[in-house]
Chains A and B, each alone.
Chain A
Amino acid sequence: MHADLSEHLFRREAARMVAVLTRIFGVQNLALAEDVVQDAFCRALEVWKFRGLPENPSAWLMAAAKNRALDVLRRERTARTFAPELGRLLSSEWTLAPVVSELFETNSIKDDELRVMFSCCHPRLPEEAQIALVLHLSCAFSVNEIAGAFVSSHAAIEKRISRAKHVLAGSKNLLDIANVEDFRARLPAVYRALYLLFNEGYHGASAESAVRADLCREAMRLCAQLLEHPWGTTPAGHALAALMCLHVARLPARIDETGNLITLFEQDRSQWNRGRILEGKRLLELSATGPELSEYHVEAAIAAVHCDAAGQQDTDWVQIVALYDQLMAIRPSPIVALNRAIAIAEAEGPKRGLEAIESIDDRERLAEYPFYFAALGQLGLRSGKTAEARGHFEVAAAKARNATERRFFEQRVAACQSQIDETAGVTRGRS
């Protein structure tokens, strides 16, 4: 008897089952598909508890879902309309079982999963709804799990997802990814959603932990799925995968054993995952075909420069500033501008860095971003204005989005304070 389930097996299988069942039932019957998935899991739970894990748990679950789907189709085919493109094939007992069996073939499920992912990135949905829906349908996260990851209430996420499903149901069919124009038209939105999903994991505001490795891993998995498809294998897709790989390589050094955040400058770079870095660079090379230069190319290139440097001193800051200039041209944002200013401070000194911060357009949009104040504090420290720096770190601590961030800024405040005390002590000692 086997005694261990591979990690996240149920999530993975749930996403696969939802994908194929939605194809069979039609997108308007998404809730029915979700019920069937739930049934299949309940049955697995009951049987496996007493009889142990089957030889092939995935195949067992898929067969359970298929049998339940056939029950539903037989029971409700007069009352409901299922997938219109399958039409009569589902209504005739003669074709029903063979057609459904064929749809449960592994290769066809791969395409169904992409269809779901693409459909979630519907242009009528705001980006935050798109990524919630991707997490829910393509990654099988529950409303509670998504609320946890986004620091949102259960009710808010539930509303967001049910609205999104409503839009999806209104679109009649899942996006037809067999059509190359539809595929390519939707692709940028899919990249964007995966990018945001990854960022949510990497820089996320989750109270539970600053780094939701789960979200990063899911974004990378979906990105890899996309790259397996011939039309999904684009330079931007490779660049996106490279960017994720090069960032995730640094995760082991980003949090210390007590759960404290460690800045890029202070990380123990020997803990960076060399395998991931090599993989990221390989992907970055693959992305360098054709004239297209996406924001993902530039962000991956920035990450690669960091990965090449042995430390802050060895970093090619001039090149990083140049890359941020490019990024500002492709996708300007106050946060990109802030990161550019930090790079300028490294390349040309804190005074030039502060000037760059002061010239950020829409600087008021950073008013709630704790790392904006942390950057001001850091530059203050480097200019010898310790008291001013402490003030900035205090603001950052007040605006921190989770306990990890708060501890990080509070340590900075304390460091400033002890410097001030020391100086005062030295002065007193002299007098």
Chain B
Amino acid sequence: MSDFLFIFRGGDRPQASPEEMQAVMQKWMNWMKELGEKGHLKDMGHPLEPGGKVVRGKQKSVTDGPFAESKDIVGGYTLIQAKDLSQAAELSKGCPALEYGGAVEVRPIMELNM
């Protein structure tokens, strides 16, 4: 088993009704529950606030940001365990955000041994 980071981008539905939001919420919980029950969920991870600061360069200049388009903003991350990258990618297909214009980036955590 190897570890993978799911990075969630975009996929918000700010104009949804309460009933629709609840449906989305339920889908997320079902998905997370399934990942957990099958032993794939290493860490549920955290949501991220949309804004923040970006610190750059030798000057260590601090600016507000990142100002990405909403579809590109990282909304959160989750740590997953899977056999290999292709299984991890397969698991990510259950992510409800995909149905609302979101994307999941699947990144292998680098092995620490040489």
Task: Evaluate contact between B21 and A41: CB separation under 8 angstroms.
Answer: yes
Interface size class of A (residues with CB under 8 A): 20 to 34
B75 at the A interface (CB under 8 A): yes
Contact A50–B47 (Cβ < 8 Å): yes
For residue B44, CB closer than 8 A to chain A, the reply is yes
Measured CA separation A9–B21 after assembly (Å): 10
Interface: A150 (CB within 8 A): no
Which B residues between 29 and 48 are near A, CB-CB below 8 angstroms?
A: 29-30, 32-33, 44-47
Contact A140 B25 (CB under 8 A): no
A141, closest chain B residue (CB):
B17
Whether A144 pairs with B47 at a CB distance below 8 angstroms is no
> CB-defined interface of B1-28 with A at 8 Å, one 1/0 digit per residue?
0000000000010101111111011101
Could you tell me the distance between the alpha carbons of A141 and B18 in the complex, rounded to whole angstroms?
8
Q: Are B32 and A10 in contact (CB under 8 A)?
A: no
Task: List B contacts of A44 (CB < 8 A).
Answer: 25
Min C-beta distance of A5 to chain B, whole Å: 6
User: Are A45 and B25 closer than 8 Å at their CB atoms?
Assistant: yes
- Asked if residues B19 and A142 are in contact (CB atoms below 8 Å), the reply is yes
Interface of A is mostly: helix
Residues of B within 8 Å of A5, CB to CB, are: 22, 25-26, 29
- Given A48-B25, A52-B29, do A11 and B18 touch, yes or no (CB 8 Å)? yes
B94 adjacent to chain A (CB < 8 Å):
no
**Cα separation A48 to B44 with both chains bound (whole Å):** 10
Residues in A whose Cβ lies below 8 Å from that of B20: 142
Proximity string of chain A (12-31) to chain B, C-beta cutoff 8 Å, 1 when within and 0 when not: 01100000000000000000
Q: In the docked arrangement, what's the CA distance between A8 and B19, Å?
A: 6
Please tell me which one of the listed residues B14, B16, B22, B76 contacts residue A49 in the complex, with CB atoms under 8 A apart. B76
B14 touches A42 (CB 8 A): yes
Tell me the smallest distance from the CB of A337 to a CB of chain B, in Å.
38
How far, in Å, is B40 (CB) from chain A's closest CB?
15
Residues of A within 8 A of B33 (CB): 1, 3
**Which positions 81-105 of chain B face chain A at CB distance < 8 Å?**
none
A329: min CB distance to chain B, Å: 41
Do residues A52 and B44 form an inter-chain contact, with CB atoms below 8 A? yes
**B75 neighbours in A (Cβ, 8 Å):** 46
| CB contact between A41 and one of B18, B28, B29 (< 8 Å): that residue | B18
Decide: A50 and B46 in contact? CB cutoff 8 A.
yes
Is A3 in contact with B19, judged by CB distance below 8 angstroms? Answer: no
- Which residues does chain B contribute within 8 Å of A1, judged by CB atoms? 33
A208 lies within 8 A of chain B by Cβ: no
Give the CA-CA distance A144 to B18 in the complex, in Å.
12
The residues in A between 352 and 376 inclusive whose CB is less than 8 angstroms from any CB of B are: none
The answer on a CB contact under 8 Å between B19 and A4 is no
- Interface status of A155 (Cβ within 8 A of chain B): no
Q: B42-86 vs A: 1/0 string, CB under 8 Å?
A: 001111000000000000000000000000000110100000000
Beyond A10-B21, A140-B18, A141-B19, 7 additional pairs, beta carbon < 8 A: A48-B28, A49-B47, A50-B46, A52-B29, A53-B29, A141-B17, A144-B17
A-B contact pairs, 13 of them (CB 8 A): A3-B33, A4-B29, A11-B18, A14-B18, A41-B18, A45-B21, A45-B28, A46-B76, A48-B28, A49-B32, A50-B76, A53-B29, A142-B20
Which residues of B approach A to under 8 Å, CB–CB? 12, 14, 16-22, 24-26, 28-30, 32-33, 44-47, 75-76, 78
